[in-house]
Amino acid sequence: MDALSNFDLTALLPFIAVGFLAQVVDGALGMAFGVISNTMLLWIGVPPAAASAGVHTVETFTTAVSGISHALHRNVNWTLFLRLMIPGVIGGICGAYLLSNIDAAIAKPFILAYLAGIGVYLLWRSFRYPPTMREPKIVEPLGLIGGFLDAAGGGGWGPVVTSNLLVQGASPRTTIGTVNTAEFFLTLTISITFITQLGWAAFTMATVGLLIGGVVAAPVGAILAKRIAPKRLMFMVGVILTITSLFGLWNAVMR
């Protein structure tokens, strides 16, 4: 909490701007807050575990506001929510506890390559839209894997869960709203787990800025998810997923 004693609004503004932009994208498309925020924190030299803890602490608040907004706009499929949330929390606890014992960097390039491929496929599907809408069948394993990767790798819930549900034929609007709402319980669990291990050291000036920008932007994403046409939503998800996955893959390979 020492970083908060030297409060400087000017220093906060860039982080507020990043938090706002990241949450607008995340709330509208169901992914990218963790990727954008975590990348920025790592870029300024924050250790991976502390960066992941800081981002998840911020996301506890932003996903709460975002989840409420999505629920008010009727963007949530509550049956799908329960099927995702419970295994997601279990996976998140495992990932947070095992972060220091398992080298997630080994599997990360393969996961990113897979997600980039999913992104390209979603782009292709968006041009052939509207496809036949179907209830997704593979849900609980996605929640478990998404929760684990989100904690252990500093991000992954939105890209893994949202993209795979869309591939199975789920509605873009309710998928995005449901994944965002379930993410609150995931980030709360991961944050508590990290705090028991790292204390409050990760709650820096940067995370305060991300928190302010993210909370302000959270209702905007829910409105956009409701109003943007499904075809355009799927296309935008494909673009964001492809770009962020290829960027992460490039970084992982170049290290």
Q: What is the 3-state secondary structure (H, E, C) of 32-75?
A: CHHHHHHHHHHHCCCCHHHHHHHHHHHHHHHHHHHHHHHHHCCC
Confidence at 224, pLDDT banded by 50, 70, 90: confident
CA-to-CA separations, 190 to 17, 86, 96, 212, in angstroms, rounded: 25, 13, 6, 20
Q: Read off the pLDDT of each residue in 128-144 and give the average, rounded to a whole number.
A: 80
pLDDT in tens, 161-215: 888 898 888 888 888 889 989 988 888 887 777 667 666 655 667 778 888 888 8
pLDDT at residue 23, as a whole number = 83
Better-scored residue on pLDDT, 31 or 177: 177
pLDDT level of residue 61 (50, 70, 90 thresholds): confident
Higher pLDDT, residue 220 or 231: 220
Express as a percent the part of the chain with pLDDT over 90.
9
Which pLDDT score is estimated for 148? 84
**Per-residue model confidence as pLDDT tens digits over 82-122:** 999 999 999 888 877 765 455 555 666 776 676 677 778 77
Please answer whether residues 85 and 130 qualify as being in contact, where contact means their C-beta atoms are separated by less than 8 angstroms.
no
Find the mean pLDDT for residues 44-52.
Answer: 67
Whether the pLDDT of residue 140 is over 70: the answer is: yes
Average pLDDT in the chain: 77
Does pLDDT of 136 surpass 50?
Answer: yes
Region 8-18 average pLDDT: 78
**Mean pLDDT lowest among 60-69, 79-88, 243-252:** 243-252
- The whole-number average pLDDT for the span 64-78 is 89
Q: Token pair of 231, please? A: 């075809």
| pLDDT of the residue at 82 | 93
Q: How far is CA 59 from CA 7, 62, 172, 207, 209, in A?
A: 21, 5, 22, 10, 12
- Does residue 154 or residue 111 have the better pLDDT? 111
Q: How confident is the model at residue 1, as a pLDDT?
A: 46
What is the per-residue burial (b if ≥16 Cβ within 10 Å, else e) of 135-151? ebeebeebbbbbbbbbb
pLDDT score at 79: 92
